[in-house]
A and B are shown apart, each in its own frame.
Chain A
């Protein structure tokens, strides 16, 4: 196969990054963290709204409807990760990622066990309500979801 190599010209970003002025990395990060922290309340509201959307999402009524519903659930789980990730809500991210993995593994044209969405939504709600120090309870919730994922991903087809 033919390979054409284009020698890299120095990008504008490369030219400016070491130019005079600017700020120290320490200050940059401090400011970025403060700016993000200011969005915490909004982020928690977004997480809450997306979990609620998952909780109330109706199961598909036909095979034709399944793909669209799964896309909707996938987008909601993605939105949970987007909003929870910068605030170290790692457990919520893990639960949402597990749901994304399972939706991603759904076979086109086949029925999807909608209880997977319901269980993940309820688990996320539980994780959200558990106190920060309840490490054991959080681990249990995530372990249960992992079991669901292992069983479903190992199964030849759903449900």
Chain B
């Protein structure tokens, strides 16, 4: 396993420097922390918004490549913002990868979290590695978008794509190790 403790290898190269990114969080400090983490990844945040209303205004006229949204905000919350975006049919923005961050998810909002159309919801506390891993995952996410009743967003069943947290190469290595271990233990089992 890599030093990241999760699935990305230190030596993998990513290029997100040109990504037009929007971060939405009602807390100015949380907004700072997220934009600083993104800056480390080479992503300069183009739009910083402290309210869903401010974000909507920008999203109507400006295409973005990545949206990072806090779930819990006063007035219009993050789930409502993402649901509006998906349903807005605003060209490419309706299909943009969305990572949501949550300090705490209210029970009454679990269905909103599931049905708003976000690509991924990350619960705090999370590490910089987890944030990067999820961004890389949503970038490579090729699930089709589904319209089912009033849901519009990525297919919520992780059928054809690897579940998040699993890097293909890492799982192949683990599988090879497992197979090797199995073939080593079999003769011993037979001897016993």
Contact = CB atoms under 8 A, between A and B. Distances in A.
B65 A12 contact: yes
A38 B147 contact: no
A78 B27 CA distance: 10
B19 A28 contact: no
Most chain B CB neighbours (cut-off 10 Å) among A5, A29, A79: A29
Interface residues of B, number: 62
A17 B15 contact: yes
B143 A26 contact: no
Contacts of B33: 36, 39, 43, 82-83, 86
B132 A28 contact: yes
Contacts of B29: 39, 42-43, 46, 79, 82-83
Contact of B17 (A11, A21, A29, A101): A21
Given A14-B139, A104-B104, A39 B32 contact: yes
Contacts of B36: 32, 35-36, 38-39
A23 B42 CA distance: 7
Summarize A's interface: helix, strand, loop or mixed. Answer: helix
Contacts of A39: 29, 32-33, 36
A16 interface: yes
Given A8-B145, A93-B124, A25 B108 contact: no
A115 to B, nearest CB: 20
B10 A25 contact: yes
Given A22-B17, A26-B3, A90 B125 contact: yes
A1 interface: yes
A7 B154 CA distance: 10
Interface string B69-110: 000101000000000000000001001110000011011100
A55 B41 CA distance: 38
Given A11-B65, A36-B128, A100 B104 contact: yes
Given A6-B147, A26-B3, A78-B103, 7 more contacts: A11-B92, A12-B20, A32-B40, A75-B74, A85-B126, A86-B127, A96-B104
